[in-house]
Structures are given as structure tokens and as C-alpha cells.
Structure 1
Amino acid sequence: MESKLMDSSSYTGLPNKLCQGLTSVKSTLTTGHILEKSEQTFIEKNDRFHHHMARSVLGIQAPLKLQTELQIANKLGRLPCLPSSRLMVDVLRGTNEDISFDDILNNPYEFGERQIDPHLAMDKQDRLF
């Protein structure tokens, strides 16, 4: 008898997940718009540009101080049950007066707080229990 290799698709015509593995939709999608990657890296490139300009004009202490303040502002926040507006980071970057996509459509928790006990949330954040 001839040994036949099993078909990778079942009798329904669907791919056999045990033989082929799980597929991801993201891997089958084509690349996005031409400006998508540029839009995603704009803030990082803009920060690098401003740090380079500050270093060439004011010396190395200015970008180091600004970078330290940005790191501190990223660590600080509100209580864990309240969403952070990240106003301090926006002020340090100079984008607090700009109206962008993030200001209008990117805040799912705009008017609400999570219904958890703030004391328990702080204990969990501080790793007390």
C-alpha cells in the first residue's frame, strides 16, 4: 500500500490548526499608509531634535535636565483608579496647547474612574501585599 501524506486541510476545507499552527491576521495584512510609521515616531524624533538643538546652543546640562524632568514626569501620576492626563509631560514638550487626535479620540476613560477601592489600589501599586 502506498502511504499518503495527510492533507493539511480537513474535510471542511479549513486549515488544520494542529499541523499548521495558529495564524495571525496581523502577519497577513499589508503595510499601512506611507505616513503611518512617520506619525508613530514623530514625538521621538521631535524630542531628539530639540535635545540636539538645546545641546548645541546651551550646552550639555540643558538636555540632561530636560530628560531628567521628562523621566520624573513619566513616573508620576494620579491614583491608580484615575486616568492620568499627562499634562506635565505635555508642558515639558511644549505640546500642551496643541489639539491633536489623542486629545479628542484617544481617551477611553475620559469621564470615568475604575470602580476599585483607592486604598487597595495604592497598596497593590506600592507592593505592600
Structure 2
Amino acid sequence: MSFGLPSIIPKSTVPEQFDIKDGTSYDVANPMVSGLSATRQSIGYAHPLEASEKNYVKNQDRMNMILLRNTQGLHAPLRIAMELKATEKIGRLPFLSSSNMMRDVLLGRDQDIGFEDIFNTPEFREQMGQPHAVVENHLGIL
């Protein structure tokens, strides 16, 4: 009984069969001539799970919203979506980075420790602009 609701099982974005043409080059660029990045872009995904892992958080959020709608009704995901939209509109100066703490609390990620919490902290970044120049550039004065 689906009641016309979408499935919560994520669908694969990678085709199940790859079209490999006959020939010696298989339409793959030579990495010695064009570099490794050009070869990687022409091949596409290296593994079928790579696309799923890239969209893991998005699929998880979508599944949570569908489950929330099925259990509590339409108002619950709409309310959370409205609150998430409000967290994006919090005004900060352009040179100050946001920790997105409110968004993490709303999504239940405030107690998780991931790679981005350890290796992507603002105090270890090498980029730092002058605050006045960044604000003037953001406002279109500079």
C-alpha cells in the first residue's frame, strides 16, 4: 500500500551497462597526452556505488522527510523545510564563515563528528582576505 507516495529507496544514477565501442582506444583519452584529469572526466564513474555515496546525505535527508510525512503528516516536513530556509537567511558579514550550527541541530547532525569537522576548520585555512575589501567587493563598491 503505497498510497501514491514516492519510494524511499534511492535509485541509481549510473547506467547498468557501459557502452564500450570496438577499437583500440575505446574512446578514452591518452593520459600521457591529455593528463589524468581529462581521462577521469571522460570515463565517468569508476564504481557503481560512487554516485550513491556522492548523494548519500541528500538521499538520507529525502528519505527522512518522506518518513516524516508518512508518520506525522504534511505539516512536519514543511515546517522543517521552512526552518532550514530561515537558517540560510541569517545575515553575516561576507568575510566571516558560518558554522551552520542551527542547520546541524535541525537535521540532527550536531552530535556527529566527520572529516569536515576535523580537517576543514577555518583557523587552518590559508585563505584570508582583508575584511574591508571583501565587504566592498560583496556590495559591488570595489
TM-score normalised by the chain length of structure 1: 0.63
Q: Cα offset for 1:90?
A: 0.8
Identical amino acids, percent of aligned pairs: 33
Point out where structure 1 has 5 or more consecutive residues left out of the alignment: 1-13, 18-22
1:110 aligns with 2:130: no
1:51 aligns with 2:29: no
Could you say if the C-alpha distance between residues 36 and 44 of structure 1 is closer, same or farther in structure 2, counting changes exceeding 3 Å?
Answer: same
CA distance in 1, matches of 2:57, 2:70: 20
Specify the alignment match of 2:94 in structure 1.
80
Specify the alignment match of 2:75 in structure 1.
61
1:41 aligns with 2:55: yes
CA distance in 1, matches of 2:73, 2:130: 47
Contact 1:77 1:86 (C-alpha < 8 Å) held by counterparts: no
Specify the alignment match of 2:134 in structure 1.
121
Q: AA paired with 1:24?
A: A
Per mean C-alpha deviation after superposition, the further-off stretch among 91-100 and 56-65 is 56-65
Q: Cα offset for 1:88?
A: 1.3
Q: Cα offset for 1:83?
A: 1.8
Equivalences, count:
107
Contact 2:69 2:77 (C-alpha < 8 Å) held by counterparts: yes
Point out where structure 2 has 5 or more consecutive residues left out of the alignment: 1-31
Could you say if the C-alpha distance between residues 59 and 28 of structure 1 is closer, same or farther in structure 2, counting changes exceeding 3 Å?
Answer: closer
TM-score normalised by the chain length of structure 2: 0.59
1:92 aligns with 2:102: no
CA distance in 1, matches of 2:91, 2:40: 33
* Rg larger for: 1
CA distance in 2, matches of 1:97, 1:77: 25
Per-residue Cα deviation, 1:35-89 (whole angstroms, up to 9, x for no partner): 3322221111111111112212222111111111112213335321122211111
Q: AA paired with 1:55?
A: R
Two-structure CA RMSD over aligned residues (Å) = 3.0
Specify the alignment match of 2:41 in structure 1.
27
